[in-house]
Chain A
Amino acid sequence: MSNAICQASELLPLLGGATNATAAATYICDRFTTVAYAVDNTYLLFSAYLVFAMQLGFAMLCAGSVRAKNTMNIMLTNVLDAAAGGLSYYLFGYAFAFGGPSNGFIGRHSFALHNFPSASFDFSFFLYQWAFAIAAAGITSGSIAERTQFVAYLIYSSFLTGFVYPVVSHWFWSADGWASPTRTTGKLLFGSGVIDFAGSGVVHMVGGVAGLWGALIEGPRIGRFDRSGRSVVLRGHSASLVVLGTFLLWFGWYGFNPGSFLTILKAYGSPGGYYGQWSGIGRTAVTTTLAGSTAALTTLFSKRLLVGHWNVTDVCNGLLGGFAAITSGCSVVEPWAAIVCGFVASWVLIGLNKLAEKVHYDDPLEAAQLHAGCGAWGLIFTGLFATKHFVEEVYGSDRPYGLFMGGGGKLLAAQLIQILVVFGWVTFTMGSLFLGLQKIQLLRISSNDEMAGMDLTRHGGFAYLYNDEDDPSQKPGSFMMRRVEPSGGSTPSPTPY
């Protein structure tokens, strides 16, 4: 995993005068190698912690975006995405993804971290990849929120983290993957391989397409479209939690995108110069920031024009749309291009939301539109704007690069292939799974449960209790009672806020 920052054979001639020049060169180089491992692992570990913080962001974003009566439910699924994902990724997910040597389709070594670490992969890499895997599962849980049985969550989440996602990451990120740009065994796809640097396709499209099928198969929440088919907004219960979650995701994205370099100690060009992977990493953080910021501002003004008022939750979604899009090309585009990326991402999201409304598709967190839609745009964007110079630095020389930058259409073709295969694979696996769950009545909750809220019927009670009562057994019928009465939807609601 670490770079060969110091070659004894290079140092050797320079030490000509020493008695034992070979030994001296080796001695010095070994120390540099140790330093490089320590620095790179430090970098990767803290990046992994940041990516983990995104799980907290998802939990808060989801909690704030659903109605109060389903808060306990959605938060539990988020905790379990991380926990169940921890076990399933340890037991087999990692092996499917990176257990080389293997074929181009699926890995097959290192189950339960057998014979680990190796010269290629260390524990920090496992931790980093686990944090990515649970992010994919977190995305999906947003699409099917507020109407899905808890057991269905457990099943799809383990399946997604343990099998569907690892296979996709094997294709595009492992050295054996058939479409990987770092492939060592065989020809690169279109002489290029797919450049999905931090996973617009591998993570965001996988999570989003899985959510799309789940939500389509379940159908919209009760009340989401009224009798005449008009869309009714079912507002989340806390904008504060949405903003908290969004900022935490932003924070974590600095681990997600720049962290995907995996190592930092590597000079580009001549050694000793100021320019190296650290610059590339910094630039990646900058492109990420600019794409998200542009998307947020674009959403702000366009929503103002379209809807007539400012809306912070829309701005948050726009921001995340920009991040999801730049995730693919973050390391290989110029900062100005990131602005283009974010601008378009915001319109992609707005357009898909219109479309979703038209076809009566209900996604409480807009997860399919945001992660699958903007993720797909991000892959195309990379095929258009990837810069020669940066592609060379990150992946090696003599490769196709962005169409608009003069690099021809090969990279774009590879990116389009990725969109198709990711969509196909996730549709095939997760679509079947959700259909099967529905057939055996394990997918959607009963309409009574849905009206009453899952917290009350399945999770032992409401998430909030702002009035302080020590003895809950007395005097039903006051305002709190009415508030969460199982027939809730039809009850007049007396609390004005």
Chain B
Amino acid sequence: MTATRNPTDWRSDAMRRRIARRYAAERRFKLAGLLAVLLSAAFLAFLLVTMMGNGLRGFTRTEIAVKVDFPASPLLLDPNAITDQALANANLPMVTGEVVKKALGADAEEWVSPTAWTALRDAIKADPKILSRTETVRLPASTAIDLAAKGKGSSEAEAAVDRLNKAGVLSTGFNMGFLTASDGTDPTQVGIWGAFKGSLLTMLVTLALSFPVGVATAVYLEEYARKNWMTDIIEVSINNLAAVPSIIFGLLGLSIFLNVLHLPRSASLVGGMTLALMTMPVIVIAGRNAIKSVPPSIRDAALGIGASPVQVVFHHVLPLALPGILTGTIIGMARALGETAPLLMIGMRAFIATPPGGIVDPATVLPVQIFLWSDEVSKGFVEKTSAAIIVLLIFLLAMNGLAIYLRNKFERRW
């Protein structure tokens, strides 16, 4: 041992400077942390704002009010025999063109959407008596006019919009069709209902398969499995499945469900099965954690008065773990709802203009619809893509929000 050291002089200048330096470092470090948080949040905000900026316009559409003198139009329809087929045979697209030209001028045909005649059809269907009088019908504007009316159009279209505005026939309103229609070729006419229903059916299949299996597995592994090689393999499999890239599940779906089992291509059934394989491990892991967090003292209590192991689990452990399991399930389902890549592999990327009727019908899902629209030629699709993204995000955020709420609400400190 060397000579005893002098007690530290905490008041010396050197020590004071040192401490000041240490506090400065402390502040810098804290600031770096704050910046990291803010930067991450800013990115999220930027993303959301961009999507909103582009997408909100997608929920509206421009309409042109056209006065239609039905008796004078080249329409050959008997007001007393309006059937779908009669309407289909009436060559409405041509009639619509004529009507528009008559009302707004020779070049006006370009201004309404190519599918504007459906508005005419719907008006006649709603009230066949219309055929005997003059009536104002609101026809959806073409993409060019629509964009120009929203301030993003070409110069010609803007000139046309000016003219229409002067005539007072242009109006912009909420686009109900966007929520009720399906995929289409004309951006003013497309909607998300088909894809949304496809998503719904797919999620239904996913949930029906992954939830029972996932919970059963979690219960077995956490409560009953003895530690042996088989449990080890199951555990390793599940942990690994949870980390397998989603596209690999797509490959599995393609080569097994489609090519070996010959299940129908593009169907929600196969999509749901593929996503179920992906979601199951998430539920298992969440379920195990939830079960694990039920304190052993509850099990002891039940066992101690003579409950069987199965009763212990079904009477006590599962009800207590349920919020945790549900949280995990919602998170897993949210992930599945946003998943795109594996579904591309099994052909859920086709153009399908009618909503699927069941789980074996060809369908697409919201994220894939977004992907498809993002590749569309017409510029009108940009805002529709963003609008669809907004819808998807609302759902996902709601699901995640629900999960967070559940987690906070039922978070127990035993």
Report if A and B associate in a common complex: no
